[in-house]
Amino acid sequence: MLYQKHILARLNELRKAEILCDVILTTDKGEKRIPVHRLVLAASSSYFNSFFTGTSLARFSRETSLSGISDEALEIIIDYIYSSKVLLTEDNIRDLLRLSSEFHLEYLKQECERFILKLIDCKNCLELRMLAGLYNCKELLSETRKFISRNFNAVRTTKAFHFISVDLLLEIISDEDLHVNTEDQVYEALSSWLNFDYKSRISSFPALLRVIRLPYLDRKLLTNEVEFDARESPQSQKLLSETMKNITACERNRTLMQSLGTNPRYESGCHL
């Protein structure tokens, strides 16, 4: 290990002194010129290996420009490759997570993921859940899912909740372990999301309504708000009509209720 650290430190010294560097990296957004060794970058990631050994002009060019990256971020990336050290902050973490994924720097990506795990709260958990899916961060994906489930009542009141995709909303409200006191809270979240942009979202309403445990909704909510939200969706109206026909029997016969796929969720207050 000491030998490896010595070699890495020596390579970094050579880079900073511009000794044996065979390519200069620049960005399309700045003026910084960073001399590096092709071999070191190629050994650090499959992205740079393909970049410098493939058929592109980068294989032969003395100077290569990278797009979609700032001078500052490029310096951080190169410093990490040569030193295995990085200073992560709330300001640079999203950009570095993206770049570590794009450049296939798996160890840096893991460090970014561990840092982000410490930042999860009700205001940012939805954004972080989307980042986890976008960059295939498995641990972050698992932890944000758990956090959203445990803190659903707080998360659903955030501004970010109104802007999530229908797929993410469907994933959240389909969760068997969603921590809610009543099913009404789940539907209220769905209704709030739907009515934030009713015209463009009503087509998604039938798929979302199917995962709501309708027999567990308060009867007034079911016959008033749900019926109103379904006013422009024939599919939802049909589902609601079928539910209303069976609801009396369901209330009297719990076995029938469960046979209709309407088991109650995990029942608990939010874990704030």
Residues 166/208, Cβ–Cβ less than 8 Å: yes
Spatial separation of the C-alpha atoms in residues 84 and 78, rounded to whole Å: 10
Helix axes 166-173, 138-150, angle to 10 degrees: 60
**Distance spanning both ends of the chain, measured CA to CA:** 43
Beta bridge partners of 208: none
Convert the pLDDT of each residue in 250-270 to its tens digit: 556 655 555 544 566 765 443
Q: Is the pTM of this model over 0.75?
A: yes
> 165 is written with which tokens?
């995709």
Beta bridge partners of 36: 23
User: What phi, psi does 34 have (nearest 5°)?
Assistant: -120, 105
Q: Over the chain, what is the mean pLDDT? A: 89
pLDDT tier at 54, thresholds 50, 70, 90: confident
pLDDT tier at 245, thresholds 50, 70, 90: confident
Rounded mean pLDDT of 22-46? 92
Length of the chain: 272
